[in-house]
Structure 1
């Protein structure tokens, strides 16, 4: 399996400053964090631009809290990036959309974690659902690429088709969903975590919905286990063909935290691979031994290491790490030893 000579996307957390208090937040984001100077943020964009990635995806926190976000979008675009934002939608207004569009915003992902009060409860803010829906309407009207993302847990996983129907009605073309991982604030809300059986039922339902709505809206899941259910990808596994599938750590994305640290995964914030202010990002991408472990999957252990699906799935390394073995078995995998052989 060949490594891409450059990532497709740089995933950058601008800041952990946020106006919401989502019960699953991986960063335990809050409003108590100050922004740094514009020059600092520009220096991060400039340093990662040497990688030649197509996309710069700016998350957080809530990046639209930063008053000079449009300038960052403009700067990233001037360096060749297609700039995207991950947002809760609260601050999106007609004038802001026009400003972002004028500064070459390529796309935006808005989170919808359920219908009505369910979304508000998960996001910790009354009225969040209404504001998110209004934001989507504005973005679609202004012809900005919109993706709706849904983080699934025990409160909302049965509402996924309702959310997909809502997205289709709003003329959204792309929808992505994956179960929460119990890190950050999610650790204190572990009752939200799905069981292995619920996990299987959920991913099976997402696959069913993908087929049902295939001519209406594109439906994806970032969960590696989802690929086990994909009949087209299973063909590769059954014939022992080595192809990329599953987690995109070190293959399609490189992630940067607000301090310039390169991290393997947003769900593994303490696994720091380097820092762009101290090392050349190209060297980290090309030579980091931890990224190589994740890329090639040859050193996976336990059930994942012996599984015939490891090159289309490989399991979630963050979930494996919850058992103190980052190369071990994915704790949510429902397959038995016979099914993986």
Structure 2
């Protein structure tokens, strides 16, 4: 494998410009758990009907006002679900948020409600970013996973309609055993249809996804390295795959040294198979500036509010620190024991506690908690043994060069 030197002017990991202990970069509000789909991995275990105790229109408005009080720049406010299109007041809530100065994005499900008309109504309300999910490259694999016929066509149709309207699209794809060899095919769709970002979601065992079939740690390492390879062709990132930041740093350093990562990082047969398929599909051609992953994770630049107002570090880490109906989200985020603790690398245990990358990675706290019951346990799907990377001095020099920007 031939390696080209990477740019020394580009950081392998982006860091936040503002203190994540004071304000999040992303706020996700689960507007409802109502959804007409029955996806096999659903963390929310969504149901057809709405919960009568969901936040009301006015309560949602008050929540958005609170989010603005974090300060400038305002966090990105994402309205999610379930399926947020199940709420008749979605367009009014989105418009109120935009009018008060929030950057509002929407994450709908792939139902018939995802159509050009509904997207145009969102756009008229001031929303120009949506997030869609595609978990298979074919009708058979995606609809089999989502368990409702037509979701693939609804998703592709919504994607194309959004692009025609000039909206930006983030595409999300679960990474699990059933579809891992289809990831290059999904990436080819991303390249052909165009997205703002493609995010690979490393499965967290929660909700219906407990027994779905997550990859093992070595397989995850292989997938993350293929994502890195694709990064000069398509804008790829990860969700609950925080060790992609460690991979990005290591691959950056290896490229600078002209060292093949297969031996240095002990990559396995899944990496070789996915790389060969990606190459055959023209996904390793390069030509675009690599988008480095950003140092944001559960409770550390990110906060989640569920349908009944409970505040948690993530939708996959359902440990409430308070409720917006009786507490300030700003106070919960900045001062609660759960949130202040999750932002401390020195609280991490096992390999994560010893790891030299824990200030930029820290592992998935959601996966650690759902796997062990301990928020601070080591990341179960990381194969890396702390201190074993062969170019440790070069990594240390890279950290020192970015020291003013690291937290």
TM > 0.5: yes
The separation in 1 between residues aligned to 2:21 and 2:367, in whole angstroms, is: 25
Query: Do the aligned partners of 1:224 and 1:245 also contact (CA within 8 Å) in 2?
Result: no
Choose the corresponding residue for 1:153, options 170, 173, 176: 176
The separation in 2 between residues aligned to 1:69 and 1:128, in whole angstroms, is: 21
Task: Provide the residue aligned with 1:48 in structure 2.
Answer: 67
C-alpha deviations, 1:54-82, integer Å up to 9, x for none? 31101110101212211111011122111
Query: Do the aligned partners of 1:120 and 1:128 also contact (CA within 8 Å) in 2?
Result: yes
Choose the corresponding residue for 2:189, options 166, 174, 178: 166
Name the CA shift for 1:47/1:307 in 2 (closer, same or farther; >3 Å): same
Q: Secondary structure at the match of 1:220?
A: strand
Query: Do the aligned partners of 1:62 and 1:88 also contact (CA within 8 Å) in 2?
Result: yes
The separation in 2 between residues aligned to 1:332 and 1:136, in whole angstroms, is: 31
Whichever of the two has the greater Rg, that structure is 2
- Compute the TM-score of the two structures, normalised by the length of structure 1: 0.89
- Compute the TM-score of the two structures, normalised by the length of structure 2: 0.75
- 1:277 CA displacement: 1.9
The separation in 2 between residues aligned to 1:77 and 1:335, in whole angstroms, is: 43
Task: Provide the residue aligned with 1:69 in structure 2.
Answer: 90
The separation in 2 between residues aligned to 1:250 and 1:81, in whole angstroms, is: 20
Q: Secondary structure at the match of 1:138?
A: helix
1:1-341 equivalences under 5 Å are 2-34=19-51, 36=54, 37-52=56-71, 53-90=74-111, 91-115=113-137, 116-187=139-210, 190-211=211-232, 213=233, 217-222=234-239, 223-231=241-249, 247-269=296-318, 271-321=319-369, 322-339=371-388
Higher mean C-alpha deviation, range 277-286 or range 76-85: 277-286
Q: Secondary structure at the match of 2:27?
A: strand
Higher mean C-alpha deviation, range 159-168 or range 85-94: 85-94
Structure 2 stretches of 5 or more lacking a match?
Answer: 1-14, 254-292, 393-407
RMSD: 2.2
Query: Do the aligned partners of 2:32 and 2:86 also contact (CA within 8 Å) in 1?
Result: no
The separation in 2 between residues aligned to 1:299 and 1:110, in whole angstroms, is: 35
The separation in 2 between residues aligned to 1:263 and 1:167, in whole angstroms, is: 31
- 1:42 CA displacement: 2.7
The separation in 2 between residues aligned to 1:170 and 1:98, in whole angstroms, is: 19
Higher mean C-alpha deviation, range 74-83 or range 330-339: 330-339
Name the CA shift for 1:165/1:68 in 2 (closer, same or farther; >3 Å): same
- 1:249 CA displacement: 2.4
- 1:247 CA displacement: 4.8
The separation in 1 between residues aligned to 2:169 and 2:322, in whole angstroms, is: 32
The separation in 2 between residues aligned to 1:6 and 1:337, in whole angstroms, is: 30
The separation in 2 between residues aligned to 1:283 and 1:234, in whole angstroms, is: 38
Matched residue count: 326
The separation in 2 between residues aligned to 1:49 and 1:338, in whole angstroms, is: 42
The separation in 2 between residues aligned to 1:72 and 1:167, in whole angstroms, is: 30
- 1:4 CA displacement: 4.9
Q: Secondary structure at the match of 2:245?
A: helix
Q: Secondary structure at the match of 1:87?
A: coil
The separation in 1 between residues aligned to 2:105 and 2:92, in whole angstroms, is: 13
The separation in 1 between residues aligned to 2:251 and 2:191, in whole angstroms, is: 26
The separation in 2 between residues aligned to 1:25 and 1:234, in whole angstroms, is: 34
